[in-house]
Amino acid sequence: MKEVQITSTLHIFENLNELPNDVVFLMQKAIEVRGKAYAPYSNFNVGAALLLDNGEVVTGNNQENASYPSGLCAERTAIYYAGSQYPNAKVVKMAISATSKSKPTLSPIPPCGACRQAISEYEVKQETPIEIYFMGEAGQIAKSASLANLLPFVFDKSAL
Ligand code: THU
């Protein structure tokens, strides 16, 4: 028997002023599209913006449904749209922002497990890391240098 340790590293920024301009722009897009989320059941609005290597910015937000599991998170709405419209482009960076009507979201809100799995598919496919930046409605921003860093021991095509 041996112990295996896996570590994840995040970089925490105190506010948007500490981030490079292209990330600030991307986060502003995420915040903007967050306001258009369809989230009447949770009242939890999430926006995601992706920068592609062809210069395109693709955004998405959460889309809920009266049949709750039929809804989709912002991150997957955005990355599936990117995959469908720009199948040969690589995703370089992703910015995510979440806000709730029931309480302030002042610390970084990470993508859920299902979204990590979905984003991982594209990171594995393109063979280059996707930088992930996530925040609440205000406050600190967390940066993960890759999706793999957020989802150790991933299930991917190597198992098939
Ligand atoms: N949600 C996202 O859009 N992204 C996440 O990573 C976590 C959760 C959405 C799904 C649902 O519409 C609402 O937030 C509450 O879970």
Closest residue (by CA) to atom 4 of ligand 1? 73
Check pocket membership of 120 for ligand 1, CB cut-off 6 A.
Answer: no
Ligand 1 centroid–CA 1 distance in Å is: 39
Q: Could you read off the pLDDT of 52-84 as tens digits, one per residue?
A: 999 999 999 999 999 999 999 999 999 999 999
Confidence of residue 4 (pLDDT cuts 50, 70, 90): very high
Q: Could you read off the pLDDT of 83-98 as tens digits, one per residue?
A: 999 999 999 999 999 9
Domain residue extents for the chain: 16-102+112-137
Average pLDDT over residues 104-120: 98
Check pocket membership of 123 for ligand 1, CB cut-off 6 A.
Answer: no
Topology adopted by domain 16-102+112-137:
Cytidine Deaminase; domain 2 (3.40.140)
Side-by-side strand order, sheet with 44-52? 11-13, 141-144, 131-135, 91-100, 44-52, 57-61
72 exposure class (CB count in 10 Å sphere: 0-12, 13-18, 19+):
buried
- The whole-model pTM stands at 0.97
